[in-house]
Amino acid sequence: MSLKDVLLPFLAWGKVFKNPVTIKDPFNDRPGSARYRGFHKNDIEACIGCGACEEICQNAAIDMVPVKGIETKDGDSGLRPMVDYGRCCWCALCVDVCSTNSLNLSNEYTWVENDPDKFRYIPGVDKKDWDNNELGWKKPENYDLNEPFRIQMEELKPEKRDSSFIEFVKGYSKEQAEAEADRCIDCGLCTATCPAHMAIPEYIKAIRNDDLEEGLRIMYETNPLPEICGRICTHKCETVCAMGHKGDALSIRWLKRYIADQIPESKYKDILNQGNDISPKSKKIAIIGSGPAGLSAAYYLTNLGYKTKIFEALPEAGGMMRYGIPEYRLPYDQIDKDVKYILSLGVEIEYNIKIGKDISLEELGKEYDAVFAGTGLHLGRSTRIPGAEHENVYFATDLLREISLGNDIHVGNKIVVIGGGNVAMDITRSLVRLQNQKNIKVDVTATSLESEDIMPADREEIDESREEKAIIDPGWGPKEIEIKDGKIKGLRTIKCLSVFDDEGRFNPKFDEKDKKFFEADMVVESIGQGMDLTYISEDIKTMVKFSDRGRIIVNKDFQSSLDWFFVGGDIIEGPDVIHGIANGHKAAKGIDKFLNK
């Protein structure tokens, strides 16, 4: 110890002459930093009510609640997060996980209130001073708590696929499927939008748990055609998937396929525990058409214990799935797998029977306790332009059916397809394959009224067609098929300026002066299909109510105004496979209800 030790501490007195720092601060307004984790704010329009924020909050500070003025719609649960500041610890995990980036924290941190209940509030709905604060915590850049982008599906290269009808989408491996399944946030927005309301997050979870049998059970609860839907479903679910806001939607369709692909049909009965304990009821049901609607109705009715019999006009089951959709997208053995299982449960089927011709609807009505019709849209629609009656002008669906039946079809050297939908792409790509197989230089052009941005075909269909060297030249209105010396010379078109009017009605506008001539020796029309309801006799027609537009009017059970006559599928809703499946399922329940009244 020295004198220094007594004197040095007195240097502290030097601080007396410095400005005090702690005295003023409590009275100064001090904004939180740019990243401050203060009170919540939510862009209520951008939020989709997916509930990921609620799910991640370890304090259970978030409840998803309905909000006035926000409707439940496709891709939006209509719920919004309510935060309870009695629980929140401002960790901002909810912000980091938010699917839409709508949820943020402001840099505001003082809030005085007498009523404790006020601290439970709905950000963005209950207006707050900090709603427009730009500063505060946002999800950091390049920081994601779940993978925004999907596992890319492997496909055959264009040069490997353009001359063959073998399936070109390879399917996920176990690792790929599990990684893709891992991205799901279990929100269920997809389930709400799926026409069959499939329990998507549950079967995706089964993939994560590597419990594919459970996955199969979950799928069959609402969809007895998983191999088919796993390949060609229109996947409305994916258009609303919450992850789509962050990056890519989940590949829900490919995941469905993954489950079904891994399990042989021979194991289905055991896994689904079906076929043994189905108690047969005395009532019988006839089903017209073996498309998805008919098959689905047959499956669910059989499981309810009814004897069901399908009458099919064509030589094999599947409807448009077999006779429309090309094999390279949906191989026949996959259709067979799904159909075989349904038939193995005791569903009877008779092929080459056309109701209305071989057997009348009245007869069916008498012999059976109820009838379900899912007869689809099989009539081609013509543009009715001059020249359309030429023998080398075809309907797309007719050609596709012939290809499926294994018949040789006429393949031109220069082909023009009129139409911009998926069916047009299917026939375009099928014709490319046939030209390659016949050693004809590929020359298929598809043209549509719609410009490319509003073409109804899926983006990937357009891109893949081009990869296969088809020409897609949209935005032209067909005027005339030019014929010289009995031979087709080509298609005359004029520029289509717009397809719909201001009210959204189909009302195309053209520029007559802007012309284009597509040289061709074969023309295919693919502008939609119509229904053939001639099997409904005039007598029955008087008992069945039709809408102004010629559709049969049905109730929620898909029951027509003639009580034993149920209808579904393309002739009511859709047109796609999953609507058919959903209709068939609902009709099966409706028939059960009707027969047990």
Which residues here bind ligand FAD, judged by CB under 6 A? 232-234, 288-294, 311-314, 319-321, 324-325, 354-356, 374-376, 378, 397, 400, 422-423, 426, 535, 569-570, 574-578, 580
Site string for another protein, 130-169 (x = CB under 8 A): -------x--xxxxxxxx----------------------
Please identify, using beta-carbon distances, which residue of 80 and 322 lies nearer to ligand FAD: 322
Please identify, using beta-carbon distances, which residue of 103 and 385 lies nearer to ligand SF4: 103
User: DSSP string of 311-342?
Assistant: E-SSSSS-THHHHTS-TTTS-HHHHHHHHHHH
- Residue showing tokens 């229109």: 234
Contact call for residue 447 and ligand SF4 (CB under 6 A): no
Q: Environment class of residue 469 by beta-carbon count within 10 Å: exposed (0-12), middle (13-18) or buried (19+)?
A: middle
Q: By three-state DSSP, how is residue 423 classified?
A: helix
Q: By three-state DSSP, how is residue 344 classified?
A: helix
Please identify, using beta-carbon distances, which residue of 268 and 311 lies nearer to ligand FAD: 311
- Residue 405 neighbours by CB distance under 10 Å: 13
Alpha helices (H) along 43-140: 52-56, 93-97
In whole angstroms, how close is the CB of 89 to another protein at the nearest point?
Answer: 5
250 binds, among another protein, ligand SF4, ligand FAD, none (CB under 5 to 8 A by kind): ligand SF4
Please identify, using beta-carbon distances, which residue of 243 and 457 lies nearer to ligand SF4: 243
88 binds, among another protein, ligand FAD, ligand SF4, none (CB under 5 to 8 A by kind): ligand SF4
32 binds, among another protein, ligand FAD, ligand SF4, none (CB under 5 to 8 A by kind): another protein
Within positions 88 to 117, which residues make up the interface with ligand SF4, using CB under 6 A?
88-94, 98-100, 102-103
Contact call for residue 6 and another protein (CB under 8 A): yes
Out of 197, 208, 340, 489, the residue judged to bind another protein by CB under 8 A:
208
Out of 218, 228, 233, 252, the residue judged to bind ligand SF4 by CB under 6 A:
252
Extract the tokens encoding 160. Answer: 């490997």
The C-alpha atoms of residue 413 and residue 395 are separated, in whole angstroms, by 17
User: DSSP string of 54-111?
Assistant: HHH-TT--EEEEE-TT---BTTB-SEEEEEETTT-----HHHHH-SSS-EEE-S----
**379-380 and 529-530 beta bridge pairing:** antiparallel
Please identify, using beta-carbon distances, which residue of 61 and 424 lies nearer to ligand SF4: 61
The C-alpha atoms of residue 531 and residue 371 are separated, in whole angstroms, by 18
Contact call for residue 17 and another protein (CB under 8 A): no
Please identify, using beta-carbon distances, which residue of 250 and 347 lies nearer to ligand SF4: 250
Please identify, using beta-carbon distances, which residue of 90 and 566 lies nearer to ligand SF4: 90
Please identify, using beta-carbon distances, which residue of 181 and 425 lies nearer to ligand FAD: 425
Please identify, using beta-carbon distances, which residue of 34 and 166 lies nearer to another protein: 34
143 binds, among ligand FAD, ligand SF4, another protein, none (CB under 5 to 8 A by kind): another protein
Q: Environment class of residue 140 by beta-carbon count within 10 Å: exposed (0-12), middle (13-18) or buried (19+)?
A: exposed
The C-alpha atoms of residue 136 and residue 188 are separated, in whole angstroms, by 30
The C-alpha atoms of residue 371 and residue 362 are separated, in whole angstroms, by 10
Out of 32, 75, 81, 318, the residue judged to bind another protein by CB under 8 A:
32
Out of 135, 190, 520, 572, the residue judged to bind ligand SF4 by CB under 6 A:
190
Q: By three-state DSSP, how is residue 350 classified?
A: strand
Start-to-end Cα distance in the chain? 105
Tell me the residue type at 495.
Answer: K
- CA 138 distance to own-chain centroid: 32
The C-alpha atoms of residue 401 and residue 35 are separated, in whole angstroms, by 62
Within positions 372 to 411, which residues make up the interface with ligand SF4, using CB under 6 A?
none
Task: Give the relative orientation of helices 422-437 and 396-405 as an angle to the nearest 10 degrees.
Answer: 50
In whole angstroms, how close is the CB of 174 to ligand SF4 at the nearest point?
Answer: 19
Contact call for residue 62 and another protein (CB under 8 A): no
Within positions 538 to 567, which residues make up the interface with ligand SF4, using CB under 6 A?
none
In whole angstroms, how close is the CB of 351 to ligand FAD at the nearest point?
Answer: 9
Q: Which helix (H) or strand (E) holds 513?
A: strand 506-519
DSSP conformation class of 391: T
Strand order in the sheet with 415-418: 393-395, 522-525, 415-418, 444-447, 471-472
The C-alpha atoms of residue 112 and residue 202 are separated, in whole angstroms, by 44
Tell me the residue type at 478.
Answer: P
Site string for ligand SF4, 137-176 (x = CB under 6 A): ----------------------------------------
Contact call for residue 184 and ligand SF4 (CB under 6 A): yes
Within positions 187 to 206, which residues make up the interface with another protein, using CB under 8 A?
205
**Which residues of this protein are in contact with another protein, per CB under 8 A?**
1, 4-6, 8-9, 11-12, 15, 21-22, 32-37, 52, 55-56, 58-59, 89-93, 96-97, 105, 137, 140-147, 182-186, 205, 208
